[in-house]
Structure 1
Amino acid sequence: MDISTLEALKPMLISFQTLALLVLFVGIVWWAYSKRRKGKFDDAANSIFEEEQGEQRRQGTEQDRAGANKK
C-alpha cells in the first residue's frame, strides 16, 4: 500500500469510526434507560439513605491499631 492510498482511505475510516462510536453511545443510553433496570438503579440511588448498614457497623466489635478486637 502506498501513502496516497492510505490518505484516500482516511476519510472513509474516520466515517466508520464515527458511526461505530455513535452506535455504541446509543446502545449505552438505551441500556441505561431501559425499564428493566429502573428498579436496580433506583435501589442503588436510594441505598445511601438506608440506615441499616450504619447500625451494623456500630454494633460490631471495634479494632485497635494493631487489628486486634477490643472487648
Structure 2
Amino acid sequence: MDINDLRGISTLFLMITFIGMCFWAYNRKRKTAFDEAANLPFADEELNQATMQEEVKNG
C-alpha cells in the first residue's frame, strides 16, 4: 500500500460521506425539522415587537 492507495481510499470515503449527508439533508422526514429551524430567526421578531409596544405604552 502506497500513498496513492491512501489517497484513493480517502477520496472514496469522503465521496460516500458527502452523498450520505445529501441524502440526510434532502430526506422528506427531515423537512419539518428544517422548516422549523429556518423560521427560528423570525420567532424573535414577534417577541421584540410586543416588547417595543409595551415600552411605548409605558412611556
TM-score, with length taken from structure 1: 0.58
Q: Does 1:54 align with 2:51?
A: no
Structure 1 or 2: more helix by fraction: 2
List per-residue Cα deviations over 1:11-68 (Å, max 9, x = no partner): 1110000000000000111100000000111111123334544357x28xxxxxxxxx
The number of residues matched between the two structures is 51
Q: In angstroms, what is the RMSD of aligned CA positions?
A: 2.1
Q: What does residue range 11-30 of structure 1 map to in structure 2 within 5 Å?
A: 11-30=4-23
Structure 2 unaligned regions, length at least 5: 53-59
The one-letter code sitting in structure 2 at the alignment partner of 1:25 is F
TM-score, with length taken from structure 2: 0.67
> Percent sequence identity over matched residues?
37
Structure 1 unaligned regions, length at least 5: 1-7, 60-71
